Structure 1
Amino acid sequence: MWQRGAVTDSAPLDVDLALLGGGGAASLVLAALDRHGVRGLRIAVVDPVRRRGQDRTWAFWGHPGSDLDPLLSASWQRVEVATPARRRVLELAPLRYAMLRSGPVYDRAAEAERRLGAIRIGAPAAAVHDDGDRVVVRTGGDGPTVRADWVLDSRPRPPARPGRTTWLQHFRGWWLESDRPVFDPDRAVLMDFRTPQPRRGVSFGYVLPVSDRYALVEYTEFGPELLTDAGYDAALTGYRDLLGLPGDGLRVREVENGVIPMTDAPFPARPTPRVVRLGTAGGATRPSTGFTFSAMYRQADQVARALAAGRAPVPAPAYPRRHRWMDAVALRALDRGSVGGPEFFDRLFDRNPPERVLRFLDGTTSPAEEVAVMNSTRLRPMIAATAGDAAHRVRDRLRPTRPAPAIPAAVVATPTPPPGTGNRST
């Protein structure tokens, strides 16, 4: 007999919905199904790891008053964008910038899983076959075979083909605790471009304060190459000193590392009729910024609403096609060096209301607003990048498709090292 909550038997299992992967995207789906009162579905979660605790942090913007509010670590309606020339404080109302750590998300998902009567299979999905009527998922080890009407797959996957531009957003952050007040809890630093800029790419720091004594201080690069451990630590030390934080009475309580794809390569959201991909694998990562959480949340909500209404659990595309095109052009211009990253983002915030820029970066602006945003950039290099992108697209159509290289998935590890060990997770 199948037991709700855990499965160790090897007999076949028939379900209505199977979730492959149990990270952020799947957790948001489970919570959304519970929130929308979906009941009576046979659900299986196939993942070798039961996610718990703080293994990643998400930052996003939106309107206050959502169901996520009780889970937030902090939120801010004032943020700072800094360049070597000036420091600008932006008032975000009616939006706010928010920080959400993974522990509360996983806890809510576990409770939703229990209320939904979902079956958890502690094994990886080894093979997935979709015959158009049902999907057969063969699991590794002693796990059972699962037959599902629909599969939601959030496991990391490479793109369908190589991108015309492929960058990575890679970062390391220190959770810093101070003996005395050194942070402003009412204001986050969204982008600080006063960091030394790499030869190819963009770098910036940011600060997400939880209190006046505790904050996440992070160094980020957009570019084609990762740094070494020593390189990240040197960059963070330099940024800490740039912020004027004291050298004594300041402790690193946790370390975060992450790599997120920034590419115009396609991530098919529906590779077969009854398999739907979510998260980065389903195109939720915005190529020009690396932001993912808001799109994952929208996907989860749309899936739950569809199932509650008896429809297929297929969310809308994470971003409009025109936004994916604009991302491709912007990435090309940045990669070829025809525009500089600090200048590009500085002009966006200087010539547009903050709310418009944030909604643009989140993929929720109207065409008229997007014209205004594009007009705030330097037109000549962007026109050249547009022409180059168009020519590259034509060449892509004329040559055989080649397999895409694997791109690291969006992962942020957040261990809690013993004081003084300096240990960190990759």
Structure 2
Amino acid sequence: MSGALVEVDLAVVGGGGAGSLVLSALARHGLRDVRVAVVDPVRRRGQDRTWAFWDQPGNDLDDLLSASWSQVEVVTPGRQRVLDLTPLRYAMLRSAGVYQRAADAERRLGVTRVVAGVEGLDDDGERVLVRTGAGGPTLRAGWVLDSRPRPPHRPGRTNWLQHFRGWWLTAHGPLFDPRRAVLMDFRTPQPSRGVSFGYVLPVDSRHALVEYTEFSPALLTGAAYDTALAGYCALLGLDPARYTVGEVENGVIPMTDGPFVARPTPRVVRLGTAGGATRPSTGFTFTAMHRQAEQSARELAAGRPPVPGPAYPGRHRWMDAVALRALDRDLVGGPEFFGRLFDRNPASRVLRFLDGATSVAEDLAVMRSSRMRPMITATLADAIGRLRDRVAPGRRPTWTVPPPVVGTDAPADP
């Protein structure tokens, strides 16, 4: 197909998690007589990342899950909380099943696969020219769903990263409690600027993903992540002589109040982090990404533009901006902030809030969980920052897109 012009109705740019979810959703919604192409320089297969998220049982993901839990722990120094998530569950999803299901959908849909990078998208309002590199074909598409990582439209007032490393541990005998996961454990040493925590996702009594995560402005060295992970394992009472480390997963996810433009041109729609699916205050991504795929496929199958709704309500993005500012300026401490959130709300409300699914009344209850004085200070500072942005937008700091996400989306998605 080198140098050819390929006509399609839909081009999916990027075949990772978001693109794979779209393909599966298109097949599940019974798409017919629609020409689809996937453009990605690599074919995704096997285990290259893990997503952890919460949802209600009884959906299309049930058969793909590696594990799920109805109870989780949130631990702060001096206090251990065991939270009942009913009617929700906390679930682990590994990439191999997602990629395989997408490959099956690709065959059923008769998808054209273009193994190439994309050099440009030219949208004239009627069709989009997808220009590929390395002598690949040019596609002319009615719509483009683009999931490639990219920075926000403009830098935010607060720009952090959720960055992490996880070890897949195999114990020599029963070592883990598979009945519940550790969602957040804030007993880890806290960085001078930012928040750190560990978590544990047990598949069974001998296998678990143990991870160290930071919310902070800068990445660590590889040695520092390993040291932090070893320290967390020791904190859990895990004797290195009783387990071996198998796979290692790493990841970086943006946490910023900078805006992501979900529809940059009339017929180009962005998905995943580039489409606003990442929750700014936590880095959680998977549930919104899955929702975007479902909505896009449902609309297209009904003969409508494949445009999903906003990933989160506008008031939630504002609340996230205030929370990020409060954490960044050290107005509140991370362990205290998240501890109060879970202490003063049912776990299901907190999780639904983080998914953007709470009512205004529930949002007010979530807001009352925090200490008022520091949050009022952060709110006023955020309002002043927004005013300054309107008056002198050029004063914003520069910010580059973080490295591509590799590894888990947990707890982004924990």
TM-score under structure 1 length normalisation? 0.94
In structure 1, what is the Cα distance between the partners aligned to 2:207 and 2:318? 39
How far apart are 1:362 and its partner, in Å?
1.4
User: 1:412 and 1:78 mapped to 2: Cα distance?
Assistant: 27
Is 1:163 aligned to 2:163, yes or no? no
Deviations 1:178-211 (A, max 9, x none): 0111100011000000000000000000000000
Deviations 1:147-199 (A, max 9, x none): 00100100011111110000000000000000111100011000000000000
- The corresponding residue for 2:195 is 202
Distance 2:226 2:167 in 1: 9
In the TM superposition, what is the alpha-carbon distance from 1:251 to its structure 2 partner? 0.4
State the partner residue of 2:32.
Answer: 39
Partner AA of 1:323 in structure 2 = H
Q: Secondary structure at the match of 2:131?
A: strand
Counterpart pick for 1:405 among 399, 405, 409:
399
Aligned 1:144-183 pairs, distance under 5 A: 144-183=137-176
- Provide the C-alpha distance between the structure 2 equivalents of 1:165 and 1:333, rounded to a whole number of angstroms: 10
Letter in 2 for 1:405: W
Q: For residues 409 and 380 of structure 1, what CA distance do their matches in structure 2 show?
A: 36
Aligned AA for 1:412?
V
Q: Which residue of 2 aligns with 1:67?
A: 60
**Conserved 8 A contact 1:269-1:277:** yes
Conservation of the 8 A alpha-carbon contact between 1:161 and 1:403:
no
Measured after TM superposition, the shift of residue 403 of structure 1 is: 8.4
Deviation at 1:133, TM superposition (A): 1.0
Q: Counterpart of 1:299?
A: 292
Q: Which residue of 2 aligns with 1:267?
A: 260
Please tell me whether residue 100 in structure 1 is matched to residue 93 in structure 2. Answer: yes
Partner of 2:271: 278
Structure 1 Cα separation of the partners of residues 407 and 25 of structure 2: 25
Q: 1:66 to 1:258 in 2, by over 3 A?
A: same
SS in 1 for 2:240: coil
Partner residue of 1:244?
237
SS in 2 for 1:188: strand
Q: Is the 8 A contact 1:280 1:410 kept in 2?
A: no
Between the aligned partners of 1:302 and 1:278, the Cα distance in structure 2 is 11
Deviations 1:203-246 (A, max 9, x none): 00000000000000000000001111110010001000000012
Partner residue of 2:411?
none
Cα distance in structure 1, aligned partners of 2:407 and 2:368? 38
1:76 alignment partner, one of 61, 69, 84: 69
Work out the CA distance in 1 between the residues paired with 2:25 and 2:296. 8
List gaps (5 residues or longer) in structure 1.
Answer: 1-7, 415-426
Which has the higher mean CA deviation after the structures are superposed, 126-135 or 323-332?
126-135
Q: How far apart in 2 are the matches of 1:153 and 1:81?
A: 36
Please name the residue that 1:187 is paired with: 180
Asked if residue 30 in structure 1 is aligned to residue 23 in structure 2, the reply is yes
Match of 1:391 among 384, 388, 391: 384
Q: Distance in 1 between matches of 2:323 and 2:404?
A: 21
Deviations 1:14-47 (A, max 9, x none): 1100011110001000000000101110111010
Matches within 5 A, 1:296-335: 296-335=289-328
Shift of 1:112: 0.3
* Residue of structure 1 equivalent to 2:214: 221
CA contact (8 A) 1:257 1:413 kept: yes
TM-aligned CA distance change 1:410 to 1:99, over 3 Å = farther
Query: After superposition, what is the alpha-carbon deviation per residue over 1:116-147, rounded to whole angstroms, capped at 9, x for unaligned?
Result: 01100000011111111110011001210100
Q: 1:404 to 1:149 in 2, by over 3 A?
A: farther
Q: Across the two proteins, how many residue pairs are aligned to each other?
A: 407
Q: Distance in 1 between matches of 2:131 and 2:398?
A: 25
Q: Taking structure 1 as reference, are residues 325 and 399 closer, same or farther at Cα in structure 2, changes over 3 Å only?
A: same
Aligned to 1:3: none
Q: Displacement, 1:10?
A: 2.5
CA distance in 2, matches of 1:48, 1:410: 14
Q: Does the 8 Å CA contact 1:157/1:281 hold for their aligned counterparts? A: yes
- AA matched with 1:214: H
Q: Residue 131 of structure 2 corresponds to which residue in structure 1?
A: 138
4+ residue segments displaced more than 6 Å: none
Q: Which residue of 2 aligns with 1:230?
A: 223
RMSD after superposition: 1.1
CA distance in 1, matches of 2:14, 2:347: 35
Supply the distance in 2 between the matched residues of 1:46 and 1:170 (Cα, whole angstroms).
Answer: 28
Q: Distance in 1 between matches of 2:113 and 2:367?
A: 47
Check whether the contact 1:159–1:404 (CA below 8 A) recurs between aligned residues: no
Give the whole-Å Cα distance in 2 for the aligned partners of 1:156 and 1:117: 26
Cα displacement (A) at 1:406: 2.0
